[in-house]
């Protein structure tokens, strides 16, 4: 039986982290901070990742399901990005886990990759980043008009370079990308391009391409696309 503790990291209603915890016993060895997707918009919140958070907590992990300010609700550049840094550093009143893995899906995957590379996120202490179906290339996403121009809503063109993982320094920590070939929301080619560029810059990046999988399989417990990366969290 898992339990949930909520910790606020700011005054805004969206500045909260829900800690999904294993049944009482030994302190978890690994913390996973989860960043949800939804193309950075207020209409989408962390609720759809509760099944994943519960599944990971049942595996014995401390799961920090983070909310952040989003476009239409006080977010965008730089507020959304500031919140990612603060949420990742938020702790509950307990000893810190030995390892910290930052996991993001879709727009949350973009934010996780940004946190791994941006100088502005240097305070984010993580050991590994897992980006699931991430919007890994903002410039290309803007060109494609993904989700009716979501990138333009998130950040102005003159600041896009500071928000785009493809135009930032290589990630400071190892990165794992997981992306389905039938993803109709975020094309897998964005992850392929990021992996090529990061590897060329000397970064440790692994890309797992899920044949026939769509946008949500990597975050759906019980699917092969979710099981592979989730199991690795407890074996690394």
Q: Token pair for residue 193? A: 């391009």
Give the confidence band of 96 by pLDDT, cuts at 50, 70, 90: confident
The pLDDT, as a whole number, for residue 25 is 66
Predicted confidence (pLDDT) at residue 79 exceeds the cutoff of 60: yes
The pLDDT, as a whole number, for residue 1 is 78
Does residue 219 contact residue 54 with C-beta atoms inside 8 Å? no
Q: Which pairs from 201-204 meet CB under 8 Å and 24+ separation?
A: 201/169, 201/170, 202/170, 203/170, 203/171, 203/175, 204/171, 204/173, 204/174, 204/175
Domain 3-232 annotated CATH 3.30.1950.10: no
pLDDT tens digits along 164-183: 999 999 999 999 999 999 99
Per-domain residue ranges of the chain: 3-232
Give the confidence band of 23 by pLDDT, cuts at 50, 70, 90: confident
Q: Write down the mean pLDDT value for the chain.
A: 96
Task: Count the residues in the chain.
Answer: 236
Eight-class DSSP state of 54:
H
pLDDT tens digits along 53-66: 999 999 999 999 99
β pairing state of 30-35 and 3-8: unpaired
Give the confidence band of 235 by pLDDT, cuts at 50, 70, 90: low
Eight-class DSSP state of 41:
B
Does residue 34 contact residue 111 with C-beta atoms inside 8 Å? no
Predicted confidence (pLDDT) at residue 236 exceeds the cutoff of 60: no
The pLDDT, as a whole number, for residue 21 is 95
């Amino acid at each position: 039986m898992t339990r949930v503790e909520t910790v606020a990291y700011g005054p805004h209603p969206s500045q909260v982290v829900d800690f999904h915890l294993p049944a009482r016993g030994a302190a978890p060895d690994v913390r996973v901070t989860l960043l949800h997707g939804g193309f950075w918009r207020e209409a989408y919140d962390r609720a759809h990742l509760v099944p994943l958070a519960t599944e990971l907590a049942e595996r014995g992990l401390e799961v920090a399901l983070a909310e952040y300010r989003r476009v239409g609700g006080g977010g965008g550049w730089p507020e959304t990005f500031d919140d990612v840094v603060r949420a990742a550093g938020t702790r509950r009143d307990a000893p810190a886990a030995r390892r910290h893995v930052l996991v993001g899906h879709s727009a949350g995957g973009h934010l996780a990759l940004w946190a791994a590379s941006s100088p502005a996120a240097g305070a984010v202490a993580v050991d590994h980043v897992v980006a699931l179906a991430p919007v890994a290339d903002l410039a290309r996403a803007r060109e494609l008009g993904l989700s009716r121009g979501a990138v333009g809503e998130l950040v102005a063109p003159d600041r896009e370079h500071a928000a785009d993982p493809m135009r930032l320094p290589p990630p400071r920590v190892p990165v794992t990308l997981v992306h389905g070939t039938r993803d109709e929301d975020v094309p897998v080619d964005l992850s392929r391009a990021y992996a090529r560029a990061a590897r060329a810059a000397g970064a440790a990046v692994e890309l797992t391409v899920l044949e026939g999988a769509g946008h949500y399989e990597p975050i759906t417990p019980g699917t092969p696309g979710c099981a592979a990366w989730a199991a690795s969290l407890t074996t690394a």
